[in-house]
Structure 1
Amino acid sequence: MTSTTMDQTVTDNVSAATAKALRAAMERLFAGRPSRTDGRLTKENLYREAGVSRATMNRAHSILAEWDRRTAATDARTPGEVRRDDELKELRAELRAIKRQRTQLQGRLDASATVIAALHHDNAALRDQLAGQGAIVALDEHRASGRPEAARPR
């Protein structure tokens, strides 16, 4: 063993092979390419991905310190979770815009319904007023009858 390997073994209380397996597992998890776990950035997944026991992983103090430092920097989210969260953020912004548009359209629809109701009321009132004045004769029917007095002004 080299002095570096012996220093790691003494410092971490794990073999060089175990340290290598833990570091490789850490890199796979941070890269979003797990081979034995679901890819979440948890210590449980780290030791399972490395194929070592939890007790063995717990003896690798420098590796765990690096793990803690790196997970703190990423908010313990995998690349897939980051993509998912970004997509959710975009979809929520789109949903807010669509809701705002829907509210505006609903307001326009309500205003239109109010105008239509007012016009309907006015139309009904005018019909009632005309009904009280006498018979209404459609000009087209009157002209079609061919009576010349209908064409002459009085």
Structure 2
Amino acid sequence: MTAADDALRAAMSRLLAGEPLRTDGALTKKNLYLEAEVSRATMNRSTVVMKEWDIEVARALGEDPDAKKPVTEESKLRRKLRQANKTIRELRETIDGAASLIALLSEENRYLRDREAKRPDARLSDLEEFRAREPR
């Protein structure tokens, strides 16, 4: 048992008793780590204390601590929305990459057409010189 575990347990006792020292007293994990004066990461590393917290809060709210929370329609929709947003981000990145490639190929194509119009005997090796020069 660490000092952080002790601080979290003391904070848990105060919050459950309705006697907070540093917070508004709501039974939230944020209030727990603020009340204990530890970081959120430290609180999350105290897995045993966090399990105790979940059980005690469920009891305080009159819920069965062993019962699984039902999957609601809202949670299903939120999960779908997160997945859709992830897909949108991935597609935007793909589109951005494709747009960059199209712009590069268009510039190279313009260069080659201009080069051919000026010098019909131009070679593809001239394109390497074009690519090597500094961008405008």
TM range (shorter): 0.3 to 0.5
Q: TM-score, normalised by structure 1?
A: 0.39
Q: Which has the higher helix share?
A: 1
Q: TM-score, normalised by structure 2?
A: 0.44
Q: Flag the structure with larger Rg.
A: 1
